[in-house]
């Protein structure tokens, strides 16, 4: 009797059931571990963001507690000279806006044109080759872009508009090259949005007699508008936060001007210059970079929130 029981317990059927049970237990353990790791990653991300906001806010309060520094003067003043107690951030803000606008004038038409071509006109083989080549631009270090703007773009601008009109360090060359840097971001995200539009919409438009260009502009483009607008806003956010290009090519002195041919310092350029280590801790210049950093953080956060809101509001859902 015992012999028959031991044989039955060691049968292939019982061994198979035991192996399945062990496999399910191991799978359950692995899923729990992965879930814990992902939860930990999310918690770390949340606390990192909270830590950044806390540190910026704490140091910014120290800056605004300095004698003669008020939030109103900080946001509306047109002179930034900490050595004489002038902390008007508008010169840094306007130069940031000008370089970002120039960059978007370059990146938006070229990026959308490239996206439409890759999505609607290029063959699959061509798309597989050109899209990675375009995205290579995103992998070039920004310091290389900065020296490219200074040593290549600026001489061209000075040759076209005159050396007396274009300064060696100027916002226009920095903005133009920054637009080239942002181009892969806008083109790649826009192309993905266009490519996600169902083929049936294109076939229906072509079947009604529309040309390929009309189909692309009047049918596919509006259907992908949510993703395209999000790409543009993220591109603006990327331009506002760019540091090395403007630090190298735009200039290193705050200048309240709307002339793109002039040298001026952006918010990120000022932060990079002051953070070089030449100034002591707890000086007005040092404390000011946290107030500017907080302002920059708020601007980019608002842009990202607007991008998400637009994406949710105008998102097209296809079956």
Q: How far is CA 187 from CA 98, 113, 126, 290, in A?
A: 22, 8, 15, 33
Whether 53 and 115 map to the same domain: the answer is no
Residue of 236, 274, 270, 278 whose CA lies nearest to 251: 270
Any domain includes 318 = no
Q: Are residues 151 and 249 in the same domain?
A: yes
Average pLDDT over residues 107-134: 87
The mean per-residue pLDDT over the stretch 224-243 comes to: 89
> Domain check: are 116 and 156 in the same one?
yes
By residue range, what is the domain housing residue 207? 72-313
Residue 189 CB partners (closer than 8 Å, separation 6+): 227, 228, 230, 231, 234
Domain identity same for 85 and 232: yes
Pair 290, 296: CB distance under 8 Å: no
Tally of structural domains, the chain:
2
Q: Please give the helix or strand (H or E) that residue 147 lies within, else none.
A: helix 142-148
Same domain for 207 and 294, yes or no, is yes
For residue 199, the domain's CATH number is: 1.10.3720.10
Q: What is the pTM of this model?
A: 0.82
88 and 175 assigned to the same domain: yes
**Residues with Cβ within 8 Å of residue 16, at least 6 apart in sequence:** none
Does residue 30 share a domain with residue 114? no
* E strand segments, the chain: 80-81, 86-87
pLDDT, tens digit (0-9, with 9 covering 90-100), for 208-232: 888 888 888 888 888 888 889 889 9
Beta-carbon-side half-sphere exposure of residue 115 (alpha carbons within 13 Å): 30
| CB contact at 8 A, 250 and 204 | no
Do 56 and 79 fall into the same domain? no
92 pLDDT higher than 70: yes
Q: Which residues of 128-167 are buried (b: 16+ CB within 10 A; e: fewer)?
A: eeebeebeeeeeeebeebbebbbeebbeebbeeeeeeebb
Residue 165 falls inside a structural domain: yes
- The residue ranking higher by pLDDT, 183 or 25, is 183
3-state secondary structure 161-194: HCCCCCCCCCHHHHHHHHHHHHHHHHHHHHHHHH
């Amino acid at each position: 009797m015992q012999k028959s029981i031991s044989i039955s317990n060691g049968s292939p059927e019982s061994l198979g059931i035991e192996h399945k049970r062990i496999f399910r237990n191991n799978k359950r353990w692995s899923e729990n571990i992965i879930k814990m790791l992902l939860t930990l990653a999310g918690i770390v991300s949340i606390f990192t963001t909270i830590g950044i906001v806390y540190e910026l806010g704490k140091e910014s309060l120290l800056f605004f507690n300095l004698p003669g520094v008020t939030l109103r003067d900080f946001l509306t003043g047109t002179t930034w000279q900490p050595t004489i107690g002038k902390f008007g951030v508008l010169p840094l803000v306007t130069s940031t806006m000008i370089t970002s606008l120039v960059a978007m004038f370059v990146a938006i038409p070229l990026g959308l044109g490239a996206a439409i071509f890759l999505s609607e006109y290029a063959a699959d083989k061509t798309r597989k080759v050109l899209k990675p080549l375009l995205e290579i631009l995103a992998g070039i270090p920004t310091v290389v872009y900065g020296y490219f703007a200074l040593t290549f773009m600026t001489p061209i601008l000075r040759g076209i508009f005159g050396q007396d009109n274009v300064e060696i360090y100027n916002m226009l060359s920095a903005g133009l090259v920054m637009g080239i840097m942002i181009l892969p971001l806008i083109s790649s995200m826009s192309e993905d949005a266009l490519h996600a539009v169902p083929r049936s919409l294109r076939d229906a438009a072509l079947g009604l007699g529309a040309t390929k260009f009309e189909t692309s502009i009047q049918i596919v483009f509006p259907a992908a508008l949510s993703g395209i607008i999000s790409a543009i806003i993220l591109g603006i956010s990327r331009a506002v936060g760019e540091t090395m290009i403007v630090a190298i090519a735009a200039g290193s002195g705050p200048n309240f001007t709307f002339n793109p041919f002039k040298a001026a310092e952006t918010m990120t350029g000022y932060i990079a210059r002051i953070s070089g280590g030449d100034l002591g801790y707890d000086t007005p210049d040092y404390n000011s970079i946290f107030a500017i950093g907080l302002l920059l953080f708020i601007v980019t956060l608002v842009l990202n929130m607007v991008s998400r809101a637009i994406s949710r509001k105008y998102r097209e859902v296809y079956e």
